[in-house]
Amino acid sequence: MKLDTKSYKGTRDIYPEEMRLRRYIFDKWARVCQRYGYERYDAPILEPLEIYAAKSGQEIVSDQTYAFTDRGDRRVTIRPEMTPSIARMVAARRQEMPMPARLFSIANFMRYERPQKGREREFWQLNLDLFGAADVEADIEIITVSDAILREFGARPEMYTILVGDRRLTDYVMREYLELDAVQAGVMIKLFDRRAKMSVEEFNVQAAEIYGGQNSSEFLAKVDELVGANSLGDLPKTIAQNGPVDELRTLLSALERRGITSAKYDPTLMRGFDYYTGIVFEVFDNSPENNRSMFGGGRYDGLVGLFGVEDLPVCGVAPGEATLNEFLKAWNLLPKLAPATDLYIIPLGIDVHDIADKLRAGGVKVAVDLGGRKAEKAIKTAVKLGVPYVMFVGENELKSGKFSLKNLATKEEKMTTLDDVVAILTNARNVL
Amino acid sequence: MKLDTKSYKGTRDIYPEEMRLRRYIFDKWARVCQRYGYERYDAPILEPLEIYAAKSGQEIVSDQTYAFTDRGDRRVTIRPEMTPSIARMVAARRQEMPMPARLFSIANFMRYERPQKGREREFWQLNLDLFGAADVEADIEIITVSDAILREFGARPEMYTILVGDRRLTDYVMREYLELDAVQAGVMIKLFDRRAKMSVEEFNVQAAEIYGGQNSSEFLAKVDELVGANSLGDLPKTIAQNGPVDELRTLLSALERRGITSAKYDPTLMRGFDYYTGIVFEVFDNSPENNRSMFGGGRYDGLVGLFGVEDLPVCGVAPGEATLNEFLKAWNLLPKLAPATDLYIIPLGIDVHDIADKLRAGGVKVAVDLGGRKAEKAIKTAVKLGVPYVMFVGENELKSGKFSLKNLATKEEKMTTLDDVVAILTNARNVL
């Protein structure tokens, strides 16, 4: 019997070259989070299925979870997202946890979806959440950190757009401005969510269907006026004067003062998850070849309370590795990353352990060739690995204390002492 | 309906305090691996069940996997170990991957076991493997790195023992010295594996049963002589003279030359997995209150070939987080780790965003209190979080450029400039 070398469908094997990029992204994520006072946590890969049932949205729970029954007859699932897990964790320490609590994690998730570019069944995400802060200053902070994350990778404001909305304003618009009942509003929100993916005609046909009344042209005109608003000031007067727009106004002007020029109001921004209760936002890639939503977040004040404790205001955001990767690629922001190893030692018939260890003590990362191969073959391995330097070590080198160090990129070869090697290699790494 | 705040049985929620310890362990693991030229990879959390069937051992596959059928009717499992995954990955690139290949990963696994101290259903492990090197120098390297890992945490050689054996020598002993057939040998190996957990009498009864012959006393005397060997030199003469002991001898003397004094030969060391083919080893905690196996490894030359490619020699080791944790606790080697956040800013009625950002630009990790609370309440939060410093920022501070910085441990309060704050806080972190 021959086993298949392919990974499970929709998952990827991460070889060292891709792993360096993953670590580059994860390290930058962690650095930005910590700069803003967020502390790291982790949660189990497996969760009771029920914690997703209330709020994660029908589609995720019934069609996309990796749910199964364990050997002890418990219904469990590989987590499809982090929010219910961290809400559960905070609820478990509701009394003693200091508030506001700034928490982040970098973790993997699984959803049973059709794999496509930038979306796989197993995916990694940063989750950043701010618990215990009801005021809009918390929303401002979450969007500020989201912006700082993109800038950390070298992104400039013109490369992305942060669309901002508010679930409360959406509710107001549905009920008071469009005069829809709760059921109609639910369907209408889903339609708005899909608007970018359909023609205007198609959108209007479906909108009129939802409305269902006689004079749908008046209804469609209202929708049109709403959709055309590019800023809060552009909104139909009745909404601007009577709707809950104060927090959005505060938010947008605070972001502007902070130089976050990518942020703008979007009356059609809905966000899919049922748990959002206030300000929501979504970050879009502006590049023509990858013009798509990258990630989003918002306020979800009702979730912690589902675990039987006093409720707690929360807002958060969850950038994903795959979409960030596509964004960085589209804007040519992906760095070329060297392997961790600084030096490949090629032993010429002797045990080089002592030499290698001296270099390691000096901070050099050293791999040693094995098997007593010819130097040529060993060099080929070093080149394939991408290690920048090789060094030959035989009896003569040991006696003289002089070692031949070769830079594989420039082909330069240089006689050096061990101390020089440490200086050259730790220096080379800082330049990279 | 009220959701339960408990995590799934046998898994743990990792709050920031525990997470700091986890990151401390993972960072040190990665640093040691890279110092020896190992490059990091990652693999999917879900694998086809079949890759474990051949070699992972009956118990793991049929009793301990989190196996289920996905929505597309594929038999999959949450990975119970890493070795088959990395063997699969290397097999997939058998032709182009430079050899020797030094690879490591830090990842989580799940096994359906009864949760107990130092063993949970979800657990994290370092996996370190060296592919493409058949010579004993590879085994020496893997044990050297294993030893370096423990020392990196401050462990001294007297705190642990590295027991070393060889599957080939074991086979020789079973067949030639104890004169057992293959079936008897299999059961005998399992009995040796459990020897430390039973009395001598019980062991002898079961050993005699396996032997099954008339004069079991002669057999038991032979077993006794074997078990009593504390070094290769102690072995019964026929084994020492005719058995495959050369590699073990080379290995043990190389380790001794390298100052790895914890290593010693153990004639009863078996290791559970069916895939080991040569030298095996297991690291034991010497502390009286936690005297147990911590982790192990060895050579498994046959695994890559199962994936339909030319076979490849491999050896590896897999230290786990939980047992390392217990070891560090038992020897008082666990550090007290501060949160990442350096400073908690308490705004006195103004927006402190600019100030916070200036400090962040200087490398200080800053959390800002929210909600306009009284200073006392805000300080309590900072204390609970474990942040070392708080700073008050109001109109007066903004105008004067002088800020009151309070060290929460010493209660010292000091008037400083922003530049001073950067210097003091980045310095404080280096001292920790």
The answer to whether B15 contacts A89, with C-beta atoms less than 8 Å apart, is yes
* Residues of chain B contacting residue A136, judged by C-beta atoms under 8 Å apart: none
Q: Which of A37, A134, A144 sits opposite B367 (nearest CB)?
A: A37
* pLDDT at residue B213 in the model: 78
- pLDDT per residue of chain B (432 residues) written in tens, 0 to 9: 689 999 999 999 999 999 999 999 999 999 999 999 999 999 999 999 999 987 766 777 888 999 999 999 999 999 999 999 999 999 999 999 999 999 999 999 999 988 887 789 999 999 999 999 999 999 999 999 999 999 999 999 999 999 999 999 999 999 999 999 999 998 998 898 888 889 999 999 999 999 987 888 999 999 999 999 989 999 999 999 999 999 999 999 999 999 999 999 999 898 766 778 999 999 999 999 888 899 999 999 989 999 999 999 999 999 999 999 999 999 999 999 999 999 999 999 999 999 999 999 999 999 999 999 999 999 999 999 999 999 999 999 999 999 999 999 999 999 999 999 999 998 877 654
User: Which residue among B102, B307, B360 places its CB closest to the CB of A35?
Assistant: B360
Give the C-alpha separation, A76 to A54, whole Å: 15
Interface test with B, best of A6, A42, A128 (most B CBs within 10 A): A42
Interface contact B8-A258, CB threshold 8 A: no
Cβ <8 Å between B3 and A385: no
Nearest to B381 among A36, A63, A99 (CB): A99
**Nearest-by-CA chain B residue for A15:** B41
Asked whether the beta carbons of residue B309 and residue A47 sit closer than 8 angstroms, the reply is no
Partners of residue A42 in chain B, C-beta under 8 Å: 13-14, 19, 22
Report pLDDT digits (tens) over A289-317: 888 899 999 999 989 999 999 999 999 99
Q: Give residue A375's pLDDT.
A: 92
Question: At residue A66, what are phi and psi to the nearest 5 degrees?
Answer: -90, 70
Q: What is the mean pLDDT of chain A?
A: 93
How close A63 gets to chain B, by Cα (Å)?
9
**B285: distance to nearest CA of chain A, Å?**
26
Subunit contact B48:A8, Cβ cutoff 8 A: yes
Cβ contact, residue pair A110, B45, below 8 Å? yes
Chain A residues in contact with B315 by the CB 8 A cut-off are none
Q: CA A79, CA A89: separation in Å to the nearest integer?
A: 14
Residue A243 backbone phi and psi in degrees, to 5: -80, 165
What is the rounded CA–CA span in Å between residue B393 and residue A274? 38
Contact assignment for A308 to B368 by CB distance below 8 Å: no
> What chain A residue is nearest to B140 in terms of C-alpha separation?
A353
Give the model's pLDDT for residue A431: 55
User: Burial of B3 by CB count in 10 Å (0-12 exposed, 13-18 middle, 19+ buried)?
Assistant: buried
**How many angstroms away from the CA of A92 is the closest CA of chain B?**
5
* Chain B, nearest residue to A67 by Cα: B70
- Shortest distance between the Cα of A412 and any Cα of chain B, in A, equals 22
> Contact B3/A52 with Cβ under 8 angstroms?
no
ipTM of the complex: 0.94
Any idea which fold B16-330 has? Answer: BirA Bifunctional Protein; domain 2 (3.30.930)
Question: What are the pLDDT digits (tens) for A235-271?
Answer: 999 999 999 999 999 999 999 999 999 999 999 898 7
Q: What is the mean pLDDT of residues A319-340?
A: 95
Q: Do A40 and B92 touch (CB under 8 A)?
A: no
Q: 3-state class of B270 per DSSP?
A: coil
State how far the Cα of B24 lies from the Cα of B335, in Å rounded to an integer.
9
pTM: 0.95
Chain B residues touching residue A138 (CB < 8 angstroms): 370
Test mutation, A1, A2, A3, A145, chain B, max B CBs within 10 A: A3
Please report which helix (H) or strand (E) contains residue B102, including its range: strand B101-110
> Nearest-CA neighbor of A115 among A35, A8, A191, A259?
A8
Percent of chain A past pLDDT 90, that is, above it, reads 85
Using the predicted structure, report yes or no on whether residue A139 has a pLDDT greater than 50: yes
Buried b / exposed e over A245-274, threshold 16 CB at 10 Å, is bebbeebbebbeebebebbebbbbbbbebe
Topology of domain B343-431 in CATH is Rossmann fold (3.40.50)
Q: Which of B308, B309, B370 lies closest to A133 in CB terms? A: B370
Contact A78 B74 (CB under 8 A): no
Higher confidence at residue A18 or residue A215?
A18
B72/A9 Cβ within 8 A: yes
Task: Kindly identify which residue of chain A lies nearest to residue B45, measuring between CA atoms.
Answer: A122
A interface test, pick of B1, B45, B47, B95 with most A CB neighbours within 10 Å? B45
Query: Which two tokens mark B327?
Result: 């070891």
Residue among B20, B24, B35 with most chain A CBs within 10 A, to mutate: B35
| Nearest by CB: B71 against A71, A103, A112 | A112
- CA dihedral A281→A285→A291→A297, nearest 10 degrees, is -20
Contact across the interface for B74 and A37, Cβ inside 8 Å: no
- How far away is chain B from the Cα of A296, in angstroms, using its nearest Cα? 22
With beta carbons under 8 A apart, name residues in chain B contacting A371. Answer: 100, 133-135, 137
SS (H, E, C) chain A: CCCCCCCCCCCCCECHHHHHHHHHHHHHHHHHHHHCCCEECECCCEEECHHHHCCCCHHHHHHHCEEEECCCCCEEEECCCCHHHHHHHHHHCCCCCCCCEEEEEEEEEECCCCCECCECCEEEEEEEEEECCCCHHHHHHHHHHHHHHHHHCCCCHHHEEEEEEEHHHHHHHHHHHCCCCHHHHHHHHHHHHCHHHCCHHHHHHHHHHHHCCCCHHHHHHHHHHHHCCCCHHHCCHHHHHHCCCHHHHHHHHHHHHCCCCCEEECCCCCCCCCCCCCEEEEEEECCHHHCCEEEEEEECCCCHHHHCCCCCCEEEECCEHHHHHHHHHHCCCCCCCCCCCCEEEEECCCCCHHHHHHHHHCCCCEEECCCCCCHHHHHHHHHHHCCCEEEEECHHHHHHCCEEEEECCCCCEEEECHHHHHHHHHHHHHHC
| Cβ neighbours of B60 in A, within 8 Å | none
Contact A307 B353 (CB under 8 A): no
Q: Which of B11, B40, B345, B351 to mutate to test the interface with A (most CBs of A within 10 A)?
A: B40
CB pairs under 8 A between A and B: 258
Could A44 and B7 be called an inter-chain contact, meaning their C-beta atoms sit closer than 8 Å?
yes
Q: What is the mean pLDDT of residues A156-163?
A: 97
User: A144 CA to chain B: closest CA distance, Å?
Assistant: 10
How many angstroms separate the CA of residue A193 from the nearest CA in chain B?
27
* Cα–Cα dist B288/B275, whole Å: 32
* Domain boundaries defined on chain B: 16-330, 343-431
CB contact (8 A) between residue A91 and residue B23: no
Which of the residues A1, A2, A8, A380 would you substitute to probe the B interface, choosing the one with the greatest number of B C-beta atoms within 10 Å? A8
Chain-chain contact of B7 with A47 (C-beta, under 8 angstroms): yes
pLDDT, mean of residues A58-82: 91
Count of positions (residues) in chain A = 432
Of the partner residues B41, B66, B144, the one whose CB lies closest to the CB of residue A15 = B41
**Min Cα–Cα distance to chain A from B277, Å:** 19
What confidence tens digit (pLDDT) does each residue in A386-405 have?
Answer: 999 999 999 999 999 999 99
Binary contact (B19, A42; C-beta < 8 A): yes
- State pLDDT tens for residues A373-387: 999 999 999 999 999
